[in-house]
Amino acid sequence: MSPETLVPASLDAAGTPFSTEAFDQFVMTSYGRFPLALVRGAGSRVWDSEGREYLDFVAGIATCTLGHAHPAMVEAVTQQIQTLHHVSNLYYIPAQGELAQWLVEHSCADRVFFCNSGAEANEGAIKLARKYAHTVLGIQDPVILTANASFHGRTLATITATGQPKYQQNFSPLVPGFHYVPYNDFGALEAAIAQIDQAERRVAAILLEPLQGEGGVRPGDREYFQRVRQLCDEKGILLILDEVQVGMGRTGHYWGYEALGIEPDIFTSAKGLGGGIPIGATLCKAFCDVFKPGDHASTFGGNPFVCAVALSICRTLEQDNLLANVQARGEQLRAGLRAIAAQRPDQIAEVRGWGLINGLELKGDIELTSLDVVKGAIAEGLLLVPAGPKVVRFVPPLIVTAAEIDQALEILERTLAAL
């Protein structure tokens, strides 16, 4: 495969394919791209500009819920783009109401605000928590606790909320009002709250991922989250869960919090909600719905087009009973990964995950990195994504088949053997 050739359909006036050199001339280099151009997809497979086929276990980074070119999405896109695609939130949008109703009926939420991405959804949750702190709790200098190794987005507020300094470097001054604690460590959380209280400030909210995705595919501990929920109830602290990566069936439940046996006060969704069409949502219980007209807004959020597509995702999840497939295929994938790990104890430290978000952690004392594995797998026809320098992430579409799981495991075995 030549890395200089991009999408054949993207031709200049002379009929010449667009090159990576020209691409980099005009597009900001904020991504480290792999040298392939994907031009077509169907189900759990994609093809590059030279016609080579790949098994897609990235799914747009846990986004393509129904894979590629799913008939339900194709129908929704086709019908809605020919009817009405955007009008703004100055008017009632029936599809937005229907989508909000489905989300409320399939979660613990009572209200929904729609935006365009996970970062925006988390930004909305932060604003909602701060307004609740000011107007209901009477806190003038609210603090939001988040976890080390977390990831909540790329806006200035959400990279501040993200407990990873590498994402914050050179973007100071950061947004005040955040404090970080170790993940799954209740004693550290209690100590942090006590420290903040002594400084005559107050914790207004705790923002956590049910499973840390970018932080290494680390599942939340059920007992920890239940104790956090109890603590929030006792102290009047809002519990916010970032479900951007783990929501919409990814864990084998509609929402990651279901695996933990709790309910949040506020939670967020994006990625899988639109199956690849940009949409995000901030969801909350009625008691903390303190937004009034003018408090928060989004020009594109919840427009007829994205809501029609998201509704097709939601209804297909339910009608096709995809949660059962996620649970079965997730168990199959983890069993296969553990079998490989048992054969390669010198390379692999641990296998962990829920449903169809799983991580393979490499040994810390060897030179092999997750990027090495990802590059090797690409050469063998399998797309994977790192979750840190030592964790390889497996997030295929929720429609993935048993045969495709077996094929991915076979490719992984060949890749690790070659490395």
pTM of the model: 0.94
* Average pLDDT for 182-191: 98
Is 292 an annotated catalytic residue? no
Please report the domains of the chain, with CATH numbers, ordered by start residue: 20-63+322-418 (3.90.1150.10), 72-319 (3.40.640.10)
Residue 8 has pLDDT above 60, yes or no: no
Q: pLDDT category, 17, cuts 50, 70, 90?
A: low
Beta strand ranges found along 13-110 (DSSP E): 38-42, 45-48, 53-56
Residue 13 confidence (pLDDT):
46
Residue 6 confidence (pLDDT):
44
pLDDT tens per residue, range 259-301: 999 999 999 999 999 999 999 999 999 999 999 999 999 999 9
**Residue among 258, 293, 305 nearest 84 (CA):** 305
Helices (H), 106-221: 118-132, 156-161, 165-168, 186-198
Q: pLDDT category, 23, cuts 50, 70, 90?
A: confident
Residue 1 has pLDDT above 50, yes or no: no
Residue type for position 219: P
Question: How many CA within 13 A on the CB side of residue 221?
Answer: 9
Name which residue leads in pLDDT, 313 or 49.
Answer: 313
Is 242 an annotated catalytic residue? yes
pLDDT tens per residue, range 303-325: 999 999 999 999 999 999 999 99
Give the CA diameter of the chain.
70
Task: Find the catalytic residue in 242, 265, 267, 291.
Answer: 242
Helices (H), 185-241: 186-198, 222-235
Residue 12 has pLDDT above 60, yes or no: no
* Average pLDDT for 176-192: 98
Q: pLDDT category, 212, cuts 50, 70, 90?
A: very high
- For the four alpha carbons of 144, 148, 153 and 159, in that order, the dihedral sign comes to positive
* Euclidean distance between CA atoms 382 and 374, whole angstroms: 8
Task: Find the catalytic residue in 271, 291, 305, 394.
Answer: 271
First to last CA, the chain: 20
Task: Find the catalytic residue in 18, 113, 114, 151.
Answer: 151
Is 271 an annotated catalytic residue? yes
Residue 9 has pLDDT above 80, yes or no: no
